[in-house]
Structure 1
Amino acid sequence: MDLKLELIVLPVSDVDRAKAFYEKLGFRLDVDKAASEDWRAVHFTPPGSECSIIFGKGLTSAAPGSAQGLYLIVTDIEQAHAELTGRGIEVSEVFHNAGAAIFQGHEAGDVTHKLQGQERLAGPHPERASYSSLLTFSDPDGNGWVLQEVTQRAPGR
């Protein structure tokens, strides 16, 4: 069976504010449809992605900002940092972590690959190893995103 992740629902408190943010981020607007005063769906796709996001009114009971650890993959983390800051998006500095990594959440909007108690090290990974250089940002509600540099995919990916 072939399974593909298609859509992620983001909980937001202000649909128009979220729409403006994701437009500024450079995501492609696919749909903005309101069926009633109580239901609206706004659908965006990140450039180059086969998976999209959707948010709106009447779509989820999850608390606004509760989606964390949403990964976007880039081939050049420093170029991505420059482009996002050039668009006026507030992002962390590029960082990496020493040693092996496991998934662990931290403060809201700060979900990264990190070993328990391990500190972020400034800048991209010194060897620019795939999956090792990251940056984070959040949308206006606090939904947390991670950009991860991948230049060579792990086997089977």
Structure 2
Amino acid sequence: MAVRVQHEPFDAVAEVEALTRGRIDVGGIVTFTGLVRGDVDGRPLISLTLEHYPGMTEAELGRIEVEARKRFDLVDCVVVHRVGELTPGEGIVLVVALSRHRQAAFEAAEFLMDYLKTRAPFWKKETFADGAGNWVDARDSDSRAEARWGGESATQK
């Protein structure tokens, strides 16, 4: 499956090896790994909790992945997104895009991340060292990044 939602940590190297094993049609691989930061605007972060609706989230990630395959000349790709309570330094998301030429892989990875940040149905709660916690809203910068791709997203069809 090209998209997975899981509690367990992922291994980026193993994911790339699995996608490229025995292939000679790949000319470029772009990976992106998102990590939990240790602070938010200078406030020490203890944990980031990600919640989702099983089934619905995977279906939405699948739509985003299909859209990337349509827009870019990809040989293959994978999206792995974690849920549960994560601590600073842990991986949250992995995007791997394979193409015959580097530009398509770079663009597809950016497209996937921009849509994941704005359209993927995850709920994120930050818990800080002072005991305070808050649910995270989408950032304006993420919405602007998504808007640069223009047109209808896979989630609006």
Same fold (TM over 0.5): no
TM-score (norm 1): 0.26
Structure that is richer in helix per residue = 2
Give the alignment's TM-score, normalised by structure 2. Answer: 0.26
Structure with more relative contact order (C-alpha pairs < 8 Å, separation 6 or more): 2
